[in-house]
Amino acid sequence: MPTVRSFAGGPAQGRLYRGKLDEYYDLNKQEARAYGAYAVATTLLPNLVTALVLFYGGQLVLNEDGLTSGQLVSFLLLLGSLSEGFSNMGSIFSSITQALGAADKVFELIRRPPQSTPLPIPPLAPAFCSGKVELRDVTFRYPARPARPVLNKINMLAEPGKVVALVGPSGGGKSSCVALLENFYEPESGMVLLDGRKVQEYDPHWYHRHVSIVSQEPMLYARSIRQNILFGLEGEPDEPSEGEIIEAAVLAGAHDFILGLQSGYDTEVGERGVCLSGGQKQRIAIARALCRRPRVLLLDEATSALDSDSENLDSILVVRDGRVVEQGTHTELLGKVGGMYSQLVCKQVDALETANTICNEQEKS
């Protein structure tokens, strides 16, 4: 609704909706006609048969042509039971046909062969995870768009305890790297590794307890803030305590605003978190990820802003058109005159300086 209103899309959307309604109306009319014909046939035919039997049988009785009135009545009663039996068989047959149609779809889904590599038996679930993450010569294309490679022989290494950032223009392939690390897809060639083993070999439950993500558009569910932070851990043997939930919220910078809400951690966030601001949703998503005490934390950030924290990153990879075009620390990359990273930073500094100049001029005037 807000999008339709903001872009004055009411009339156009109305026309689209009207078109769909007309289609639906036409289909309903067809169905009504077919049903009418069926109803006429099923009510008219038995009555017609009864009338014919009465007429012909009555003649036989009146002419004393070997049929007594008792026999005619018995025949009519039996005919009634028989036609009821046939009509029941008809409705059972149509139910069976409907059920078979629906079952076809269900079995189609059940029998769909999985596209992912089968898990080894037993799947990996080591007692310790150091958190070394690596993409090795990874080439990848999305199944929905097989013609276009999204990642092209990409390499990335994040040692335990280190912070590695992927930066670069929109559509370069950063989120796709994250999706591969989450094991949502498998690479076409190359390997995605955690502690030197392919991520496909790990038990999925174990894996996602050690690798957490905060996605670009965090998804919250229509339940309380506490339940959203705990998501998936309720009833688990290591379900976090109230203290641990609060600790995660404090680390995510969410605790103060949560306490400011009327019901604190019990506040309902609404469908998809509509009762919260974008920033608040993101902080709750960060608390949800931290609550698991992951060894690897993936933060997929939509904004392109490089802030002062960039200086503190251990390694920065500039990703463009599915390739790593530059790699190094903030200082090293800034030193590459004409390099993509230094251009990105310069653009941002220019924008900031222009904004500062405008502000200063406004203050003076």
Ligand X SMILES: Nc1ncnc2c1ncn2[C@@H]1O[C@H](COP(=O)(O)OP(=O)(O)OP(=O)(O)O)[C@@H](O)[C@H]1O
CB of 172 closer than 8 Å to CB of 320 = yes
Binding mask 261-300 for ligand X (x = CB under 6 A): ----------------------------------------
Among 6, 63, 81, 170, binds ligand X (CB under 6 A): 170
Closest separation in Å from C-beta 170 to ligand X: 3
Quote the CA–CA distance of 172 and 149 in Å, as a whole number: 11
Tokens of 198: 């392919």
Count of residues interacting with ligand X (CB under 6 A): 12
Strand 164-167: give its sheet, edge to edge.
Answer: 164-167, 315-320, 323-328
Among 171, 232, 278, 335, binds ligand X (CB under 6 A): 171
Which amino acid would we find at residue 206? W
Least separation, in Å, of the C-beta of 174 and ligand X? 4
Considering the rule CB under 6 A, would residue 303 count as an interface residue with ligand X?
Answer: no
Q: Would you state the structure tokens that stand for residue 30, as one six-digit string?
A: 């067809």
Residue 120 binds ligand X (CB under 6 A): no
337 binds ligand X (CB under 6 A): no
Give the span between the Cα atoms of 14 and 112, in whole angstroms: 38
Yes or no: say if 193 and 273 are a contact pair by the CB < 8 Å rule.
no
Near ligand X by CB under 6 A: residue from 174, 210, 292, 330: 174
In whole angstroms, the minimum distance from the beta carbon of 359 to ligand X comes to 28
Enumerate residues 148-167 that contact ligand X by CB under 6 A.
Answer: 150
Which of 61, 175, 215, 282 forms a contact with ligand X (CB under 6 A)? 175
188 is a contact residue toward ligand X (CB under 6 A):
no
The rounded distance, in Å, linking the Cα atoms of 99 and 92 is 10
Q: Does 184 bind ligand X (CB under 6 A)?
A: no
- Please list, in sequence order, all residues whose beta carbon lies within 8 angstroms of the beta carbon of residue 215, skipping any fewer than 6 positions away: 178, 285, 300
Identity of the residue, 176 or 310, whose beta carbon is nearer to ligand X in the bound complex: 176
CB of 133 to ligand X, least distance (A): 17
For ligand X, the binding residue among 135, 176, 211, 225 (CB under 6 A) is 176
Positive/negative CA dihedral, 48, 53, 56, 62: negative
Peptide bond preceding 123 in cis form (omega within 30 of 0): no
Q: What is the distance between the alpha carbons of residues 46 and 109, in angstroms, rounded to a whole number? A: 43
- Does 215 bind ligand X (CB under 6 A)? Our answer is no
Within 18-57, the residues that bind ligand X by CB under 6 A are: none
* 347 is a site residue for ligand X (CB under 6 A): no
Span from 86-94, 168-176, 229-237, 341-349 in contact with ligand X (CB under 6 A): 168-176
Q: Which of 5, 145, 337, 338 binds ligand X (CB under 6 A)?
A: 145
Between CA 301 and CA 167 the distance in angstroms is 10
Contacts of 363 (CB under 8 A, 6+ apart): none
- 3-state class (DSSP) for residue 357: helix
Residues making contact with ligand X (CB under 6 A):
142, 144-145, 150, 170-176, 302
